[in-house]
Amino acid sequence: MEQRPFGSTRVSVPVLGQGTWQMEEDDRAGAIRALRAGLDLGMTHVDTAELYGHGKVEASIVSEAIAGRRGDVFLVSKVMPSNASYAGTLAACERSLKRLRTDHLDCYLLHWPGSHPLEETVRAFEKLVADGKIRAWGVSNFGVEDLEEALALAGPGRIACNQVLYHLEERAIEHAVLPWCEAHGVAVVGYSPFGNGRFPRPDSRGGKVLGAIARAHGVTPYQVALRFLVRGPSLFAIPKASREAHARDNAAAASLTLTADELAHLDAAFPLGPEPASLPVI
């Protein structure tokens, strides 16, 4: 599995990781099997959150999937904005660690900008780093203004990543967020790479382009999409798969090589569109 430095941490992280949102609704044993198969194939970046299933995904799915192999995993969780005061962040992290049955997170994110002062969240993140509870911290759903605020508070080299909505039909981050992150050494982790299940239809204009490229490589359109989404040096993607076959397909997408022509066709078939007033979120 191809790896690249994860923002300011410089830790090597696979370009493709594994999401876990809504997994509490899936067959539990199957989801754990899928996650473990993904880990076997190098998709060791596992993304979860206290929000997911109100803690159930951390406690009964991710903890089980990583049991006995914590050292192989780049484990990421997120604090809810409503908990992101100084004391609230410290307490939320403890609860996530307990549910995940681990003593540290590799990266801890603020799930989206909220009403608690960001200064408190950043101070709590730095305390958690100093205490060895988290190795690094980042943000999610942050536009450029939010990123500027975080940078002003934390100083350079502290924000590991910004996790944002990014799929073929939603490329808004390419206007300003991605360039900002690249300029400041912040990894960009694209969430919902398949549009949370709303993937381009095969008979749509873009779907036809995806299909033709997929056929030429003997892969699926989903694999082509993933490869396109991690085509830049600071890009990562975290598809969610609760079926083992999907996890296997996703991992294999990392070894696909798209030609410059194919990338240009995809770029044209899924146009960037005008810059929206605010960052789209799911």
Cα–chain center distance at 239: 8
Torsional class of 165: left (φ above 0), alpha (ψ -120 to 50), beta (otherwise): beta
Crossing angle of helices 118-130 and 86-100, rounded to 10°: 50
For the bound state, the minimum distance from the C-beta of residue 282 to ligand NAP, rounded and expressed in Å, comes to: 5
222 is an active site residue: no
- Within the chain, strands assigned E span 3-5, 12-14, 45-47, 74-79, 107-110, 137-140, 159-165, 187-191, 235-237
Question: Minimum Å distance from CB 163 to ligand NAP?
Answer: 5
Footprint of ligand NAP (CB under 6 A): 19-21, 26, 47, 111, 140-141, 163, 191-197, 220, 222, 238-243, 246, 249-250, 282
At its nearest, how many Å lie between ligand NAP and the CB of residue 35? Answer: 11
- Of residues 33 and 70, the one with the C-beta less far from ligand NAP: 33
Q: Which residue matches tokens 């410059």?
A: 260
Distances (CA, A) of 57 to 25, 109, 111, 264: 9, 16, 16, 38
Closest distance to ligand NAP from the beta carbon of 249 (Å): 4
| Farthest-apart Cα atoms in the chain, separation | 54
Query: Is the CB of 188 or the CB of 241 nearer to ligand NAP?
Result: 241
HEC assignment per residue over 40-60: HCCCCEEECCCCHHHHHHHHH
CB-wise, 8 or 77, nearer to ligand NAP? 77
Q: Which is nearer to ligand NAP, 152 or 282 (CB)?
A: 282
* 8 A C-beta contact, residue 133 and residue 156: no
Closer to ligand NAP by Cβ: residue 143 or 193: 193
Residue labelled with tokens 């005008």: 274
Cβ 51 to ligand NAP, closest distance in Å?
8
Distance CA 261, CA 252 (A): 21
Closest to ligand NAP by CB, 168 vs 269, is: 168
Rounded least distance, CB 194 to ligand NAP, Å: 3
Q: Which two tokens stand for residue 36?
A: 């473990």
* Residues forming the active site: 52
